[in-house]
């Protein structure tokens, strides 16, 4: 079995943890080139902005919508040019399923957002 060097993923994780202490226990390197973070809706925009503007996750891959009972979950799949994918997950209650658009960062995200509205 080949050993994988996860330095770049761990560096990204550490940058995000140093900027956002509330991510402690909520961000992890899942495997090579894949980082997962769970962010509450109130902090989501700040984390998203930091990921895109400061640590260069400047490729929007897709947005996944999930029905998780009382909440709707949204996973924003972002990538950088090193091939690392950052999955940012947030929630909105079904009683108030409102999230802010990200089209100012990625105009093409409007297509994904329309699909979420249909959900």
Are 117 and 100 contacting, i.e. CB atoms less than 8 angstroms apart?
no
Confidence of residue 4 (pLDDT cuts 50, 70, 90): low
Q: What is the pLDDT of residues 19-67, one digit of tens each?
A: 999 999 999 999 899 999 999 999 999 999 999 999 999 999 999 999 9
Reported pTM? 0.91
Report CA-CA distances (Å) from 87 to 67, 100, 112.
17, 17, 15
Partnered with residue 78 across adjacent β-strands are: 60, 86
């Amino acid at each position: 079995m080949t050993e994988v060097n996860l330095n770049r993923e761990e560096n990204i994780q550490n940058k995000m943890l140093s900027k956002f202490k509330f991510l402690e226990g909520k961000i992890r390197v899942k495997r090579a080139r894949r980082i997962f973070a769970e962010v509450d809706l109130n902090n989501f925009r700040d984390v998203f902005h930091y990921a895109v503007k400061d640590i260069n996750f400047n490729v929007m891959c897709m947005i996944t919508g999930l029905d998780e009972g009382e909440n709707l979950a949204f996973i924003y799949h972002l990538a950088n040019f090193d091939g690392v994918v950052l999955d940012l997950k947030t929630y909105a209650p079904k009683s108030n399923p409102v999230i802010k658009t990200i089209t100012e960062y990625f105009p093409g995200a409007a297509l994904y957002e329309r699909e979420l509205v249909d959900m």
